[in-house]
Chains A and B, each alone.
Chain A
Amino acid sequence: MQNKIRIYAALVWLLLAVQAVAQEPPAFDTPEQEERYKNLTTELRCAVCQNQNLADSDAPLALDLRQEIYDMMQAGQSDDQIKTFMVERYGDFVLYRPPLQGNTLALWIIPGVLLAGGAVVVFFTVRNRNRKLAAQHKEGSS
């Protein structure tokens, strides 16, 4: 009995320990700050494992960069300042939301163009079909 309790206690402690590890970085003063931190780390790409964001990556560099972001937030830096810090070092590529500028113009415009093109195609297809149907209807009734 005594032993069982000990084992359970150990298990509970083990669980707590796992949580403590998963819970880096250290606590934030306000929930808003934690939210900001979450947003920032999910919006920034990890340069090492390029299809992951900083929040999800286990790469040592991502760990350091998360710490860096945390420190900058604690120092009162704005989101823009933190993003600029990252872009100055790793380039626009680290932003999952690229800025609208000369070399990203195509990126921003092409989806709109495709959507508009699709709308035009749909419009003409539907109109043609309606006309054909109307014509058939006329033939049938006359």
Chain B
Amino acid sequence: MIGRLLPIIIFVLLGILLAAGLKIADQKSDLPSPLVGRQMPAFSLPLLGQEDVIVNSDDLLGEPILINFWASWCVTCRVEHPVIEELAASGALKIIGLNFRDETEDAQAWLRQFGNPYTMIIQDYSGRTSIDFGVYAAPESFLVDEKGTIVYKQLGALTPEAIEQEILPRIGKQGSMAR
């Protein structure tokens, strides 16, 4: 009896395994950031196009901020741009642009073309700070609370849904992006 059922049982188990695999296939390449829940990496970097103005990571503390890693070579950043602009216009929180591995002129041309939604733009020319943040794709956004703890990381473009469901609730605001 059990000998006859065994192939069927194995078949069903295999089916469940494959179905589960398909289900997670979309997010399989999304790495959970080990930085969530930790203090953001310290950095000391100039503003974009103003090499003599240095911003320290500690200067940014005191209110929740969204650090948005972007670059002019990043195609998805263009897709994301209107969403960032909308969030900036809502005034929900400060958005700090972190331009990385990019040429100053290219970045500035990009801003002229698409608009600048950022409170300030910090330049990480070498990409060393982006490594400290574990950035491996672009764009990536980090929600940092007033004490400097990373509370959420968005891999890839921010969407209105992500802002609605992940960002705003974490800073105690709701619905300002609702349509």
CB distance from B137 to the nearest CB of A (A): 7
CB distance from A106 to the nearest CB of B (A): 13
A87 is an interface residue with CB less than 8 A from chain B: yes
B11 is an interface residue with CB less than 8 A from chain A: no
> Could you say which of A48, A60, A89 contacts B133, with CB atoms under 8 Å apart?
A89
* Interface stretch (choices A11-19, A28-36, A61-69, A131-139): A61-69
Say whether chain B's binding surface is mostly helix, strand, loop, or mixed: loop
> Could you say which of A47, A68, A87, A92 contacts B136, with CB atoms under 8 Å apart?
A47
CB distance from B33 to the nearest CB of A (A): 7
Smallest CB gap from B101: residue in A: A60
Interface residues of A, count at CB 8 A: 15
Interface residues of B toward A: which range? 10 to 19
Question: Which residues of A (62-110) have their CB < 8 Å from a CB of B?
Answer: 64-65, 68, 87-93
Interface pair B32/A89, CB less than 8 Å apart: no
A130 is an interface residue with CB less than 8 A from chain B: no
A50 is an interface residue with CB less than 8 A from chain B: yes
Supposing A68-B131, A89-B131 touch, asked if A61 and B33 sit within 8 A by C-beta, the answer is no
Taking A65-B131, A91-B32, A93-B31 as known contacts, 7 extra A-B pairs with beta carbons closer than 8 A to each other, sorted by chain A number, are: A47-B31, A48-B137, A64-B127, A87-B34, A88-B134, A89-B34, A90-B136
Residue numbers of A with Cβ under 8 A of B are 47-48, 50, 60-61, 64-65, 68, 87-93
Residue numbers of B with Cβ under 8 A of A are 29, 31-35, 101, 127, 131-134, 136-137
